[in-house]
Amino acid sequence: MKVLKFGGTSVGSVKNMSNVKDIITDGSKKVVVLSAMSGTTNQLVAIAKYIENNESNKAIDKINVLHEIYFNTIDELLKESLLNSEVKNYVSSVFEFLIESTDKDYTEALKNRILAQGELLSTFMFNSYLKQEGISSTLLPALSFMRIDEFKEPDSDYIEAHFKSAIDLAEDSEIYITQGFICLDSNDEISNLQRGGSDYTATLIGAAFKADEVQIWTDIDGMHNNDPRYVENTRAISNLSFEEAAELAYFGAKILHPQTVTPVRKDSIPVRLKNTMKPDAHGTLISNSTLGDGIKAIAAKDNITAIKIKSARMLQAHGFLKKVFEIFATNETSIDMITTSEVAVSLTIDDDKNLDKILAELDKFAMIEVDKNQSIVCLVGHSVVNHQGTYKLFKILQDVKIRMISYGGSNNNISLLIDSKDKINTLQKLNSYLFELVTL
């Protein structure tokens, strides 16, 4: 059995939902994971923000606009009157909950309950649409099996056991529909796998029952060799290894949630990226095989903070780095890049919620410089270090100021730290030097 995940655009209009229906009805049993309709989660985030800021009138206006959009979509999607009113009843109960929320005290738990509604709406609507089309499908509530632990990590034993019993208890059917993104936390409160988390739901489910394959269906024909939002003439990459895909996802390729490949890697369950609007395009196959050497793709991750820690006696003082790393570890902050010299160590973090505490501790024994608004540009491939084409990367040194460079840490990745304002220019320059036939 396979797991197929469809993203926001894929379920974002009646036309696209009909494409999804065609893709999933090939006669084989499958689990279908759906995101919220495109734009919905952003709207729910905005509604929660208004509630947090005590601007309930603005929240109510937004809720009413969204309610109307959903009713219009239902009228277009569900011509069968019983199903139409059943779905409208459900949708109205969701919007009632949202309206009631505008009167409540804002908490993180309330925000998470609000954010969860997008996937609950899309799956309910789509399951009813399949029923209308005479397709055998069952809704599996993600909250009955998807769970994170007290460290916010997926609880894979729980997920495996509860997913299996959810399937066993469900009515036998061709298609099992479930919600991406949402889960319970260790206190049984509704939570989520962070933005873009439906991809992660799909691979967690795939790992739970050792699926034959996980497919991520989106609005582009696979992983491109550069960020198509900023660079023209990017191309889809037909094959990537798990390592290469993990680096690209972690370092900002938005097509995949950063942790997407983690659950399926150990069992070598292939992940296929496909375009809902062009199902015949090859897409990208992520598997154990590595095809070709050299740099294959570039991605960029924003909101990076760089910290330079200077001490006159850094290297002579053994245990200096240990002391530094311990401060980050006790403050639950992971480090992405690191470079060292005789007197200083520079490193980067992307989660700065404990930055003040970290700086206060570092300040006791070192001089510190902090630069915010940095981006990591990551060049990913196989055997990238020493590959004959890699030298071309240094051509950009004349155009872009590089703050840090990490070369040789792994054979899959070369990372550059730059000011975020130089990101688009850097991505474009790298594209022309590395992937286009530019004479040097």
Residue 370 phi, psi dihedral angles, 5° rounding: -120, 130
Q: How far is the CB of 135 from ligand ASP (least distance, A)?
A: 23
125 in Cβ contact with 77 (< 8 Å): yes
Distance of alpha carbon 192 from its chain centroid, rounded? 12
Size of the site for ligand ASP (CB under 6 A): 12
Instruction: State yes or no: residue 41 binds ligand ASP (CB under 6 A).
Output: yes
Instruction: State yes or no: residue 180 binds ligand ASP (CB under 6 A).
Output: yes
**Which residues, numbered 164-223, are part of the site for Mg ion (CB under 5 A)?**
196
Which residue in 140, 149, 130 sits closest to 24, CA to CA? 130
CB under 6 A: which stretch of 42-50, 78-86, 251-259, 346-354 binds ligand ADP? Answer: 251-259
Answer with the entry of ligand ADP, Mg ion, ligand ASP, none that 228 interacts with (C-beta below 5 to 8 A by kind): ligand ADP
CB under 6 A: which stretch of 191-199, 239-247, 355-363, 410-418 binds ligand ASP? Answer: 191-199
239 in Cβ contact with 288 (< 8 Å): no
Q: How far is the CB of 45 from ligand ASP (least distance, A)?
A: 9
Of 102 and 381, which CB lies nearer to ligand ADP in the complex structure? 381
Answer with the entry of ligand ADP, ligand ASP, Mg ion, none that 180 interacts with (C-beta below 5 to 8 A by kind): ligand ASP
The contact mask relative to ligand ADP for 198-227 (x = CB under 6 A, - = no) is --------------------xxx--xx--x
Which residue in 116, 137, 130 sits closest to 180, CA to CA? 116
Record the tokens describing residue 91, joined without a space: 């949708």
CB under 6 A: which stretch of 193-201, 206-214, 305-313, 323-331 binds ligand ASP? Answer: 193-201
Instruction: State yes or no: residue 195 binds ligand ASP (CB under 6 A).
Output: yes
Q: Which of 12, 118, 154, 270 binds ligand ASP (CB under 6 A)?
A: 118
Record the tokens describing residue 141, joined without a space: 């509530």
How many angstroms separate the CA atoms of 246 and 259, rounded?
7
**Which residues, numbered 305-334, are part of the site for ligand ASP (CB under 6 A)?**
none
Q: Which of 9, 10, 19, 35 binds ligand ASP (CB under 6 A)?
A: 35
Question: At 135, is the secondary structure helix, strand, or coil?
Answer: coil
How many angstroms separate the CA atoms of 59 and 310, rounded?
48
Q: Which of 11, 17, 36, 416 binds ligand ASP (CB under 6 A)?
A: 36
Of 155 and 227, which CB lies nearer to ligand ADP in the complex structure? 227
Instruction: State yes or no: residue 253 binds ligand ADP (CB under 6 A).
Output: yes
| HEC letters along 277-346 | CCCCCCCEEEECCCCCCEEEEEEEEEEEEEEEEECCCCCCCCCHHHHHHHHHHHCCCCEEEEEECCCEEE
Length of the chain: 440
Q: Which of 49, 254, 310, 323 binds ligand ADP (CB under 6 A)?
A: 254
Size of the site for ligand ADP (CB under 6 A): 18
Longest dimension (CA), the chain: 78
DSSP state of 257: -
DSSP state of 236: B
Long-range residue pairs from 286-289, CB within 8 A, at least 24 positions apart, any chain: 286/223, 286/239, 286/240, 286/241, 286/242, 286/244, 286/245, 286/261, 287/239, 287/241, 287/242, 288/241, 288/242, 289/239, 289/241
**Which residues, numbered 222-261, are part of the site for ligand ASP (CB under 6 A)?**
none
Of 176 and 181, which CB lies nearer to ligand ASP in the complex structure? 181
Answer with the entry of ligand ADP, ligand ASP, Mg ion, none that 195 interacts with (C-beta below 5 to 8 A by kind): ligand ASP
Answer with the entry of ligand ASP, Mg ion, ligand ADP, none that 221 interacts with (C-beta below 5 to 8 A by kind): none
How many angstroms separate the CA atoms of 67 and 279, rounded?
31
The footprint of ligand ADP (CB under 6 A) covers 7-10, 35, 196, 218-220, 223-224, 227-229, 253-255, 299
Q: Which residues bind ligand ASP (CB under 6 A)?
A: 7-8, 35-36, 41, 118, 180-181, 195-198
